[in-house]
């Protein structure tokens, strides 16, 4: 923490420094351009910056320690590698998760699974509990959907990820899926975060609709503080003034997260754009920015999809995109 003091008396300076010393924190003081700058070195997490702001003579308080700790690069320098079946996130691999927005039936999911596997996906996605904006929209096949996911996962030989929306279903869902997804709408559902931490399952943590980088990392901190470090972060677009796309895909997030955190980060260009035509170019951009993987919506027949058909690729679109991405991966020294 850095405390900047102006027109301060010796007594005021000593008061500030004494406060840090009370917490056994090393303090240094220097004078520069008529200001007194006090630097506190060490774990100042026990000191509340706001309490220093109120002290006489203090102009401003600059907090240099990030509020997130366990998920920070400072805590762990090397990349965390998350393994889900044969899918690996956080090493040289670019791992692609693909499948429909929602599980609609066994045939639909199996057709999607076999197609995405053939094209090189290493994991299957499919929602059984759909958090829809309207209560009148399709809410998912729920437990029946989970059973279909499990059956298709075994048949196709792909691990599965599916969204959990309720803390009461975490344990039950963990029997059916290999990875639990926290959707954008639940990124700050702290009860749910604590519950998935306990599940021991790898977690796909999507960025909240309007979440800052710090809020997103703090959500991951909840899971890690709960004893689960198998977390993959997912940038899925944020709310902006732009209406031509469903969301604005924030590609800044990828290199920033890689700098701030040791956790893997993947991108969801399907929800990030809301437009199937943009999925291929934004997937390439994501890889270029350093993403560890992608999650893509693929439906055997997007025009008949019960949800998100407008942003879903056909198996043919997906196969073509994967071929193009493989060339790109090679050029940037990644494995796909």
Residues that bind ligand PEP (CB under 6 A): 101, 127, 163, 183-184, 206, 236, 268, 271
CA distance 235 to 267: 5
Nearer to ligand PEP, 17 or 127 (CB): 127
258 binds, among ligand PEP, Mn ion, none (CB under 5 to 8 A by kind): none
CA distance 219 to 17: 33
Considering only CA atoms, which of 268, 108, 97, 105 is closest in space to residue 178? Answer: 97
In this structure, are strands 35-41 and 26-32 parallel, antiparallel, or unpaired? antiparallel
At its nearest, how many Å lie between ligand PEP and the CB of residue 274?
10
Q: In angstroms, what CA-CA distances link 306 with 132, 138, 155, 224, 271?
A: 12, 7, 23, 35, 15
183 binds, among ligand PEP, Mn ion, none (CB under 5 to 8 A by kind): ligand PEP
Nearer to ligand PEP, 184 or 273 (CB): 184
At its nearest, how many Å lie between Mn ion and the CB of residue 214?
26
Nearer to Mn ion, 5 or 124 (CB): 124
CA distance 86 to 297: 20
At its nearest, how many Å lie between ligand PEP and the CB of residue 310?
14
206 binds, among Mn ion, ligand PEP, none (CB under 5 to 8 A by kind): ligand PEP
Residues 6+ apart with CB under 8 A from 137: 130, 307
The number of helices, as runs of H, and strands, as runs of E, in the chain is 11, 14
Contact pick of 308, 317, 334, 336 for Mn ion (by CB under 5 A): 308
At its nearest, how many Å lie between Mn ion and the CB of residue 236?
10
Nearer to Mn ion, 101 or 321 (CB): 101
Nearer to ligand PEP, 137 or 252 (CB): 137
299 binds, among ligand PEP, Mn ion, none (CB under 5 to 8 A by kind): none
Nearer to ligand PEP, 17 or 264 (CB): 264
Q: Give, to the nearest 10 degrees, the angle between helix 142-156 and helix 106-119.
A: 40
300 binds, among ligand PEP, Mn ion, none (CB under 5 to 8 A by kind): none
Nearer to ligand PEP, 3 or 141 (CB): 141
Binding mask 74-103 for Mn ion (x = CB under 5 A): ---------------------------x--
DSSP class of 93: B
Considering only CA atoms, which of 315, 316, 264 is closest in space to residue 294? Answer: 264
* 326 burial via Cβ count (<10 Å: 0-12, 13-18, 19+): middle
Q: Give, to the nearest 10 degrees, the angle between helix 253-260 and helix 213-225.
A: 40
184 binds, among ligand PEP, Mn ion, none (CB under 5 to 8 A by kind): ligand PEP
Positions that interact with Mn ion (CB under 5 A)? 101, 308
């Amino acid at each position: 923490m850095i405390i900047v003091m102006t027109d301060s008396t010796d007594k005021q300076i000593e008061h500030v420094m004494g406060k840090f010393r009370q917490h056994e924190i090393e303090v240094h003081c220097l004078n520069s351009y008529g200001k007194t700058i006090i630097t506190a070195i060490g774990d100042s997490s026990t000191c509340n910056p706001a309490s220093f702001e109120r002290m006489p003579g203090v102009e401003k308080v600059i907090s240099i320690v990030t509020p997130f700790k366990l998920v920070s690069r400072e805590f762990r320098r090397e990349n965390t590698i998350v393994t889900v079946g044969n899918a690996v996130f956080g090493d040289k691999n670019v791992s692609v998760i693909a499948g429909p927005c929602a599980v609609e039936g066994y045939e639909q999911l199996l057709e999607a699974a076999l197609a995405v596997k053939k094209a090189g996906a290493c994991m299957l996605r499919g929602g059984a509990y759909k958090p829809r904006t309207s209560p009148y929209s399709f809410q998912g096949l729920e437990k029946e959907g989970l059973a279909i996911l499990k059956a298709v996962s075994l048949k196709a030989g792909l691990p599965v990820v599916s969204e959990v929306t309720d803390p009461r279903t975490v344990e039950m869902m963990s029997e059916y899926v290999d990875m639990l997804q926290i959707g954008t709408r639940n990124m700050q559902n702290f009860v749910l975060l604590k519950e998935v931490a306990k599940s021991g399952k790898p977690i796909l943590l999507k960025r909240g609709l309007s979440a800052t980088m710090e809020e997103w990392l703090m959500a991951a901190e909840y899971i890690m503080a709960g004893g689960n470090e198998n977390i993959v972060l997912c940038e899925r677009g944020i709310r902006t003034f732009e209406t031509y796309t469903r969301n604005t895909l924030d590609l800044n997030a990828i290199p920033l997260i890689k700098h701030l955190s040791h956790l893997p980060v993947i991108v969801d260009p399907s929800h990030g754009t809301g437009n199937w035509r943009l999925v291929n170019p934004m997937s390439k951009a994501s890889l270029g920015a350093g993403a560890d993987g992608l999650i893509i919506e693929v439906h055997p027949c997007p025009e008949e999809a019960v949800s998100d058909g407008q942003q879903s690729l056909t198996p043919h679109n997906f196969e073509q995109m994967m071929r193009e991405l493989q060339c790109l991966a090679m050029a940037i020294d990644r494995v796909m």
